[in-house]
A and B are shown apart, each in its own frame.
Chain A
Amino acid sequence: MLALPPVSLRGQQAQPASSAVSRYQAPVVSDTGDLKGPRQPIFFRHDIHAGQDQIPCMYCHYSASIASEPGIPSLQTCIGCHQLVGGSTPSHQAEIRKVRDAWRERKPPEWIRIHALPGFVRFPHMRHIKGLGTSLGVEANATCATCHGDVKTMPQVSLVATLKMGWCVRCHVQNKVSRDCSVCHY
């Protein structure tokens, strides 16, 4: 049915049972006003999910390594865990309740898009993941962090790079890949 390239099958490595490295603990956020980035309809914390719980990026953003679109996870992915995981603090519980409400009312949340390129750019995600490396375990999420920053420590996602063309071209020159206009603009 779908011809999946090898990279997507190798992507997710399980963590060994006894890890020598101490697990990252996400901080308690008491004042969200100081956080960078737009306020999202549900206060989804990447530092808990990707940092503390070590969920690989590709668990949710599944299509990034095979398609040009990064793939925002469906609500089914969220409810997969959160039908059971209710949250350990009242504020966590409030946010998770929003997820369950959305599922029950069949109204997915409208996330504010942070990383957006203009309509005249074609950005193929899978080429960049293929080119920058395929080890996408949580310990080495360097590939995604190249452009998106250290998301596993972000309570609220914000832009860390300008995403302007100069920034893209500098990386292309450093890595000695094509600077041809028509690989992105068509």
Chain B
Amino acid sequence: MTEPINRRRFLKVLGVSGAGAAAVSACGIGPEPTERLIPYLIQPEDQIPGLATYYATTCRECAAGCGLHVRVREGRAVKLEGNPDSPINRGRLCARGQAGIQGLYNPDRVARPMVRNAGGAFEAIDWDGALQRLSAKVAEARGKGIVFLTGAEVSTFGDLVDEWMRQVGGRRLSYEAFGFDALRAGNRLAFGTSSLPTYDFANAKYVLSFGADFLDTWLSPVEFQNGFSRAHAFDGGRPASMAKFVYVGPRMSLTGMNADEWVGVRPGTEGALALAMAQVIVSRRLAAVPADAGRLSALLSAHTPRTVAEAIGIEQNVIVRLATEFANARGGLAVAGGMAAQYANGAEIAAAVNILNYVAGSVGSLVKFGADLAVGSAGTFADVAALTADMEAGKVGLLFVHGANPAYSLPGKFQQALSKVAYKVSFSSYMDETAAGCDMILPDHHPLEQWADSRPRAGVTAFQQPVVQPVFDTRQTGDVVLRLAGRTGTFQDYLQAKYRTGRGAGFDQFWLDTLATGGVYGDAPTRAVRLGDVSNLAVAAPAAANSEQQDVVVFPHPVLHDGRGANKPWLQELPDPVSKIAWHSWVEVHPDTAKAWGLATGDFLLLKSDFGGQKFPVWITASVRPDVLAVPTGQGHTAYGRYAQDRSANAFELLGVQPNSYGGRNFLVSASATKTGEHRKIVTTEGSPRERGRGTVEVLGVARAKALHAGDHPFHHEETPEYAAEAVAWWAEQQHEKAELGDYRGEQPRWGLAIDLSKCTGCSACVTACYAENNIATVGEDLMQRGREMSWLRLERYWLTDEHGAPQGAVNSPMLCQQCGNAPCEPVCPVYAAYHTPDGLNGQVYNRCVGTRYCSNNCPYKVRYFNWYNYAEREGAYEAWPEPLSMLLNPDVTVREKGVMEKCTFCVQRIRGAQNQARLEDRNVRDGDIVTACQQSCPSDAIVFGDLNDRRSRVYQLAGNPRGYHVLAGLNTKPAITYLARVVAQDTPSHG
């Protein structure tokens, strides 16, 4: 009797059947190729295949010095996490930190020492030969000017270089492209010290930022974001209280987007606003003003709200209101830096903000001097400009460059000057612009491959240890310097010798303990500071551009920063948190200005300042002042690898190379703007900038939020319409029966997430963490333009507007697979690849998927992603992981191939891993055992994962919070993710 044809048999007959399968054919169907097992020669003691080993080290992607735990599998680093022991980041990590691993395995790393040959091209050389040549050059260059240029390097390595430079009669200079010169000069003006304090955001009751981007790039973003979340989130630590956050600046950055109120003052007038607020506080005695504030009376009386209101561009009563709120909060913190420091009067602005803090009583409590942040000890821009002048004049005979890329941030000028230096050596791991202009490249180990230490702030010494064997034939620069200095031993010996002094026999234990925690963590005592003589402080804004020219603000890209992130595909593919643009730069133009000039988004605008010109595509947005254009840095590299090179335009070309009065650089320039007539489709993941009441994000005023009780349901929640009630009941019955069959019987967890929109800042650390954990492919600019990006978790940014339609801030909502209880994608899969697991997940079985794409079609959240091309194919056209980038792939997660649908799985590999571990230990999984990658990385702790069936779990409590709602609740999908509504401080009229 013949079997009736059913679906499975039909597909089996159509496809290649098992018996007599073809040999491996071009389309890759066939038996697996023979694998070989190569055992270790000697089993390493602390490695068990299949189990990960974690090492503590330090992230060196910026100067903040966050601690890392590196997950190492079989000798490969596969994931970076924050180190919970570090007081700086407390176990969290930003997107730049997560992408550090792509710097380690970058395919464009310099693999061995190179030297420029007679023909001018680079050729490989062995280490001994290179060092011999270099020693000769050092001897030759004595007395002719030897300079060693580093990044911010407050560390034993920095000390070693200083020592060596003294030995050879040279000098060391450190350079950060976004050094905080204005802030340091402002501190010197106001308090007589140019060191940088630390700021206690967690205990602030009111945060007022004058252009300081403490959530993107300012000083120590992860630390400040964590503190800010405790102060500003609605339920953050203190029940139902919320510190108001006001942002003052010409454009809304990532930080500005999270403000309750945006005060868009005229660029350069931030100082006047700060002084006017201080005047209000002192004259009306709104705070316990310090005794010596009498010295400020002359200065403050010249800056009353009435005198400055017009110059700033906001009304007097607003200034008075802000000052009153700031003082009455009894814990107001004002911070300056970022864009407010980018003008010619940046130091004065920083000093004015210091005065505001001083009169409100925050200095010493929330602004703590004594921390001496490492980034504050880098050289100023004036120092590097002087160096460039010396190089140009032929006064430098030998230049070493380590951890800095001045040829990119001072384009043209530095490169020209570089050609006048007799011999130049780069220690860069990558062929960046500066290395491309050097004569010898001695590639340093990546920070994950080396022994080192650093002191990011007083009291904290962060250690680095190698977590993997060096990937290439590189050598630690510390070793090279020791060799050149004629000393024996490696840098590791030198480092250990430093810590050995005074410890005697206890050193070995100290060393092991410190490596386990990642460093020596202590608090530095707060140093009291005295107000200096500021009676002559001149905070007047520089003259506005003439009518022919525009004010152009060049700001640091939150992810690419000063350009160093551009060679990492995860960072290039990460949409900018504000503009949602990836892979290229843009210029921000206000809609009124765009209308006046006849511009559409994507039209190219040529910006020409006195120093250079570049063209950028326009992005029309109301988040910038109408009289200001804003351009990010980071793109426009002329070298630096396949992901960075020849891409978009370099905003540093627009800037001058002369230092200003306080030794810093002006990042506000006057430039002419002309339409070039060209147009491009910009690469953006933004759908609609407005939420339009669709139920994707919910916002509550703070008064309403405080009035909520448990059991309240202020938002729409799903209800089954009558016509569907019977069908839904039948479906639920079927699921229930299935769940009672055999092995599915019994209590199962229901995995769920709670995401607090009051905490989410939109920083996108979770997105990069997800890419790292789940082997998600980067698709590149062309495919992203066609909407083929693979990000399982995306951040949707919706503007919040006031009654005039001007943006006041934004709500950021992480959108990922909702693991719906009543999923629209499950019934439509013809092959049961999308199905519901007994533990509440919406499962996706990659090997069953045939690529119908009906599931993605049906998904209302559009969180399913299809592999249109073979991103894993070696040498393929869309290769996402060219060697050795494939070494960072997580072995616990399948790498998908073409034709397969994928989506967020709630890190099911971590769930199963925790369940396996619990089973081995004969116990149940506890709440907190399973942490998803996004949750682990989030600096604000906005995401919480757990078992919704466990009444004692954190996620269960949060899911029952009255602020909770489901996205698109009316569709009755019964998602497992509860979002908690964003709470905004009310009564925030618009300005500027």
Cβ-based interface call for B782 (8 A): no
Residue of A nearest to B894 (CB): A120
Could you list 19 A-B pairs, sorted by A, with CB under 8 Å? A1-B46, A2-B51, A63-B48, A66-B920, A67-B50, A76-B40, A76-B43, A108-B41, A110-B36, A112-B37, A113-B35, A122-B912, A124-B916, A126-B916, A173-B742, A178-B743, A181-B845, A182-B837, A186-B909
Q: Once the chains bind, are A111 and B36 in contact (CB under 8 Å)?
A: yes
Q: Is the CB of A124 within 8 A of B912?
A: yes
- Please, which residues of chain B bring their CB within 8 A of the CB of A103? 41
Please, which residue of chain A has its CB at the minimum distance from the CB of B837? A182
**Other-chain residue from A73, A108, A116, A164 in contact with B32 (beta carbon distance below 8 A):** A116
A109 cross-chain contacts in B, Cβ below 8 A = 39
Assuming A127-B919, A130-B919, A186-B909, is B743 touching A118 (CB within 8 A)? no
Q: In the complex, what residues of B have CB within 8 A of residue A83's CB? A: none
State whether A75 and B49 are in contact (beta carbons under 8 Å apart), knowing that A124-B916, A127-B916, A181-B837 are contacts in the complex.
Answer: no
Question: B38 CB to closest chain A CB, in angstroms?
Answer: 5
Contacting residues, chain B, for A170 (C-beta < 8 A): none
Interface footprint category on A: 35 or more
| Contact-residue size bin, chain B (C-beta under 8 Å from the other chain) | 35 or more
With A63-B48, A176-B743, A178-B838 as given contacts, are A118 and B847 in contact (CB-CB < 8 Å)? yes
Contact of A76 with B42 in the complex, beta carbons under 8 Å? yes
A72 to B43, CA, bound (A): 10
Contact mask for chain A residues 102-133; partner B; CB cutoff 8 A; 1 contact, 0 none: 01001011111100101110101111001000
Q: Which residues of A contact B (CB under 8 A)?
A: 1-3, 5-7, 62-63, 66-69, 71-77, 103, 106, 108-113, 116, 118-120, 122, 124-127, 130, 164, 172-173, 176-183, 185-186
User: Is the CB–CB distance between A67 and B743 below 8 Å?
Assistant: no
- Nearest Cβ in chain B — how far from A3, in angstroms? 8
Q: Give the chain B neighbours of A179 by CB distance below 8 A.
A: 742-744
The interface residues of chain B lying within 8 Å CB-to-CB of A119 are 894-895
Separation of A86 and B41 alpha carbons in the complex (Å): 20
Complex interface: chain A residues within 8 A of B743 (CB): 172-173, 176-179
CB of A123, distance to nearest CB on chain B (Å): 10
| Residues in B whose Cβ lies below 8 Å from that of A111 | 36-39
B921 at the interface (CB under 8 A from A): yes
Would you call B41 and A67 a contact (CB within 8 A)? no
Q: Considering the chains assembled together, what is the distance between the CA atoms of A62 and B845 in angstroms?
A: 31
**Given A111-B37, A113-B36, A126-B916, A186:B742 Cβ within 8 A:** no
Residues of B within 8 A of A183 (CB): 912
New A-B pairs, 8, CB < 8 Å, besides A2-B46, A127-B919, A182-B841: A66-B48, A68-B50, A74-B43, A77-B43, A122-B892, A164-B18, A186-B894, A186-B908
Counting chain B CB atoms within 10 Å of each CB, which of A113, A130, A177, A183 scores highest?
A183
A110 with B846, Cβ < 8 A, contacts A1-B46, A127-B919, A186-B912 known: no
Q: Which of B35, B39, B51, B895 is the one whose CB lies under 8 Å from A74? A: B39
Task: Mark out the residues of chain B between 882 and 919 whose CB falls within 8 Å of any chain A CB in the assembled complex.
Answer: 892-895, 905, 908-909, 912, 916, 919
- Contact present for B42 and A113 (CB under 8 Å): no
Provided the pairs A66-B920, A106-B41, A112-B34 are in contact, do residues A120 and B846 lie with their beta carbons within 8 angstroms?
yes
How far apart are A165's CB and chain B's nearest CB, in angstroms?
9
Distance of A130 from chain B, by nearest CB (Å): 6
Q: Please state if A110 and B38 are interface contacts (CB–CB under 8 Å).
A: yes
A126 touches B43 (CB 8 A): no
Does B35 contact A116, Cβ atoms closer than 8 Å?
yes
CB within 8 Å for A110 and B42 given contacts A120-B846, A181-B837, A181-B845: no
**What is the distance, in angstroms, from A31's C-beta to the closest C-beta of chain B?**
24
B507 located at the interface, meaning its Cβ lies under 8 Å from any Cβ of chain A in the complex? no
In chain A, what residue has the closest Cβ to B51? Answer: A67
Which residue of A has the minimal Cβ distance to B832? A181
Give residues of chain B (850-901) contacting chain A, Cβ–Cβ below 8 Å.
892-895
Residue ID in chain B nearest A116 by CB atoms: B35
Contact (Cβ within 8 A) B36 A112: yes
B155 to chain A, nearest CB (A): 29
B894 CB to nearest A CB, Å? 5
